[in-house]
Amino acid sequence: MKLAYYPGCSLDGSAIEYGLSTKRTAELLGVELLEIEDWNCCGATSGHNTNKLLSLALPARNLALAEKTGLDVLAPCAACYNRFRNTEHVVRHDRKMQEKIAAVIEMDYAASNQTLSILELIVNKVGLEKLREKVSQPLKAMKAACYYGCLLVRPQEHTGFDDNEDPRSMDLIMQALGAESVEWSFKTECCGAALATSRPDVGYRMIYEVIRNAREAGAECLVTACPLCMMNLDMRRRGVEKAFNQRLDIPVYYITELLAIACGDSPRDVGVHRHFVEAESYLASLPEKAARIEAEEAARLEAEQAKKAARAAQAKKAAQDKAKKKEASEAEAMAKAGDEKKAAPAAEAAAKAETKEKAAPAVEAAATLAEVGDKGSKAAQTQAQAAVPAIAEADDDGALQKKINAMIKAWEKSPEKVAARLIEDEERAAILAQVVSGDEKKTARLAELMITDKDKAAKAAEAFVTGELKKRQKAQES
């Protein structure tokens, strides 16, 4: 796959780590990047704050140069990507403006090609399956908050590759790399952009809220695909900590850095050591954390096997008890009828069953402990001994899906009641019910989480409500 490459002003300067890791990502995934010759600044915020035609002509010139090559464009910077997609949209829908732009840039431009973000390239063009095949050092034990910011997925009619309120592309990439992506409500909030410079009293508060929300959601690091977001969350961290008198020790990474590392590169190969907030030690701690998690999971599985063996032994004993009682009852009935000859064999069989049954628990327990002793730890053996008298019904995949389906029906029938189980606040619970009603995707997602992980379900519900309230506030303001 070949793409025209637009590095923009940041990827060779303030975001050099992003530039290094983007090129390495393309190499790992078999994508050839051909840098646009004689490219110019896209204008970013300054352009469209100054003059509309200028804000369109600056990106259009770069796109026209790429269009001549017949290639689509990769613009890793979120601001550049947003300005390029906006220009494409205008040129395709406004003939008069297209003619004005062509006159300014002294080139024809028909928007026959399209601009891709790094997320869109990985998920929709390369594919997650191919990405998984490249992973050699999975990021196990990493808990990441995927931060999309305000430019990658908005406005929907310009970008369109992901949900603009609850995007998932970066989360899917992180999961393919072996990490856990946390549910949180600030994934598309603005970091303050240039306000951190012009109005630090406002900008620092916005940066602080993003970091605070990620930490409260259980994240141990932040992941982004925007140079300006990285600058605010990383370079301006000490200023934010000073303003709020609070330490915020949580590293930030570019998505491309983590992809290259998961595929075998060292953190220094892709510039992680250049970050302002120290970010190498967290990566170094992951193997030990992953080993501990795997050991805990192995112990849990051993305990589950011991419980299953105990349940099987108890079920067998119950069946034998039932058969013995039946035989004894039949023998007693025949004896009462005076048929001693017929009663004798039945009584003898009952006696044999009783003798065999007395030995059965010891035999079953010995077999269970032997099996666990061969395969498991001493702790698992103790678990098996304690589990013999305990009986609980096992849930298989079919039973789990039945529970999820039942929960979906509960949402459809009484959304207000189910919402109240996740959110105590009546007003927010009512909003959740409105959001979920008619949205099969959100209904299925909450139903599954309520069955498998109640805490995650509550966090997801809060995220949906927060997103809806922000949407309503913006609608009122407009």
The pLDDT-based confidence of 377 (bands split at 50, 70, 90) is: very low
The answer to whether residue 155 is domain-embedded is: yes
- Residue 67 included in any domain: yes
- Could you tell me if 284 and 142 lie in one domain? yes
Return the pLDDT at 366.
Answer: 39
* pLDDT score recorded for residue 392: 42
Residue 305 placed within a domain? yes
- Domain presence at residue 478: no
pLDDT in tens, 458-477: 989 899 889 888 888 888 88
- Give the residue from 354, 387, 420 where a domain finishes: 387
pLDDT at res. 174:
98
Asked whether residue 132 falls in the same domain as residue 159, the answer is yes
97 within domain boundaries: yes
In this prediction, residue 365 carries a pLDDT of: 41
- Answer yes or no: do 69 and 189 share one domain: no
Residues 267, 298 within the same domain: no
Task: Examine the domain organization and report whether 24 and 115 are in the same domain.
Answer: yes
Q: Answer yes or no: do 338 and 275 share one domain.
A: no
What's residue 372's pLDDT?
41
What are 172-201's pLDDT values in tens digits? Answer: 999 999 999 999 999 999 999 999 999 999
pLDDT tens digit string along 84-112?
Answer: 999 999 999 999 999 999 999 999 999 99
Are 13 and 113 in the same domain? yes
What range defines the domain where residue 77 resides?
Answer: 2-119
229 occurs within a structural domain: yes
Total domain count, the chain: 4
Same domain (yes/no): 330, 461: no
What pLDDT was estimated at residue 4? 98
Query: Which of 237, 270, 289 is a domain's end point?
Result: 289
pLDDT tens profile 217-251: 999 999 999 999 999 999 999 999 999 999 999 99
- Would residue 250 count as lying in a domain? yes
Residues 35 and 96 in one domain: yes
How many Å apart are CA 235 and CA 229, to the nearest integer?
10
What pTM was computed for the model?
Answer: 0.67
Which of 227, 259, 289 terminates a domain? The answer is 289
- Determine what percent of the chain is predicted with pLDDT higher than 70: 88
Residue 392 inside a domain? The answer is: no
Query: 318 and 223 in one domain?
Result: no
- Mean pLDDT, residues 103-124: 97
Least confident residue range of 33-37, 180-184, 224-228, 333-337: 333-337
Same domain, 108 and 132: no
Per-residue pLDDT, 356: 54
- What is the model's pLDDT at position 413? 87
Tell me, yes or no, whether 72 and 150 share the same domain: no
The CATH number linked to 107 is 1.20.1050.140
